[in-house]
Amino acid sequence: MKNIWYNFIRSYIKLGLFFYTKKIKVVGKKNIPKKGAVLFAVNHPNGLLDPLLVTTTATRNTHYLVRAAVFKKPLVKKFLATLNLMPIYRIRDGVKELSKNTEVFNDCFKILKKGEALMIFPEGSHDQRRTVRNLSKGFTRIIFGAFEKYPDLKITIIPVGITYQSVSSFPSEVAIHFGKPILANTLYNKDELNSSIQTIKEAVSSQLKDLSVHIPADDNYQTTLKTLNLKNIDFTDVCEANRIIKTNKRTTKRVRINVVKPLYYILIINSIFPWILWKIAAKKIDEREFVDTFRVAIGITLFPVFYLIQAFILYNFYNFKTAVLYLLTTLIVQLMYTKFSTTSITEE
């Protein structure tokens, strides 16, 4: 029953993301093992949208760790648990809270033992900057702990790079790259744990820098980023973006022209009440990395309900055909705006 619920919610979220994104470019799905314990090690530029994108594009049902603050309310905690989410406690949650990670890690060991998939964000926090940050050793603790408890266990690490054209922009454009499998067993030596930790971190970090757009976090970071933004390059073309960063080679400028702007105003008029609620909620979002998270949450809950209410009103005042026609028109207008809101012209 839990799998049915999980797959239903995942399918619904996947549909919602289809309407939210202009494009989701997925590369390397063939690298994901069909069986056995898998640990997805993902970079983290954009709040809760990151795990949703990986979960809905990966070929495996996935458990993942989310910062504990999300689980404060009991009902929310129970609901999230049905979707394979687990809390991870950090020092900012309080020193006493850290002890709860022992139970969480034991649950992770059991998940891997059962040959299931676990998603972790080894950078430790979200950050919209286009750079792969230093990885924490928390994910290696889970791997090594699983090996200690189950010596015969094999764990495959799949680095996953996520790159957005622009964090918190709608419609969203994103690239998801699944990296080459890393058999953790071959990098683990129980007699040299510190060396093993560093080796695994370097192996994962090296791939993440190729799987996502990576601008070194040095004194030239802002200058490089400004140059790329002025050229309006396609960041979702990760290989090309990284080539430009590494070679410092000039590139042509893309001019983005919004060709369906009028549809935006039609959408606003048709969605006026949930749109107003979104604007109110947006003012309370402190971190830019969570704008997409809340926008998607409101988009897949309040907006569909509002459209159904309006369709029901039309049904009562007119007929069933009119209500269905309204819903179909609403979906078409939404898709046209999302998928064709901008075009890119290369300027030599």
Q: What is the spatial distance between Cα 142 and Cα 147, in angstroms, rounded to a whole number?
A: 9
Residue 199 lies in a domain: yes
Task: Give the residue with greater pLDDT, 69 vs 66.
Answer: 66
Inform me whether the pLDDT recorded for 288 exceeds 60.
yes
Q: Say whether both 48 and 174 belong to one domain.
A: yes
Residue 249 lies in a domain: no
Inform me whether the pLDDT recorded for 291 exceeds 70.
yes
Q: Say whether both 152 and 264 belong to one domain.
A: no
Residue 26 lies in a domain: yes
Distances (CA, A) of 152 to 13, 146, 149, 155, 163: 36, 10, 9, 10, 35
Residue 234 lies in a domain: no
Q: What is the number of structural domains in the chain?
A: 2
Domain that holds residue 72: 2-219
Q: Say whether both 127 and 268 belong to one domain.
A: no
Q: Say whether both 22 and 92 belong to one domain.
A: yes
Residue 243 lies in a domain: no
Q: Say whether both 206 and 278 belong to one domain.
A: no
- Nearest Cα neighbor of 299 from 269, 333, 274, 326 is 274
Inform me whether the pLDDT recorded for 187 exceeds 90.
yes
pTM of the model: 0.91
- pLDDT tens digits for 11-35? 999 999 999 999 999 999 999 999 9
Reported for 186-189, long-range contacts at CB under 8 A and 24+ positions apart, including other chains, are 188/143, 188/144, 188/147
For 245-294, give the secondary structure using H, E and C: HHHCCCCCEEEEECCCHHHHHHHHHHCHHHHHHHHHHHCCCCCHHHHHHH
- pLDDT tens digits for 227-246? 888 888 899 999 999 999 98
- Of 189, 219, 249, the residue that ends a domain is 219
Residue 235 lies in a domain: no
Residue 173 lies in a domain: yes
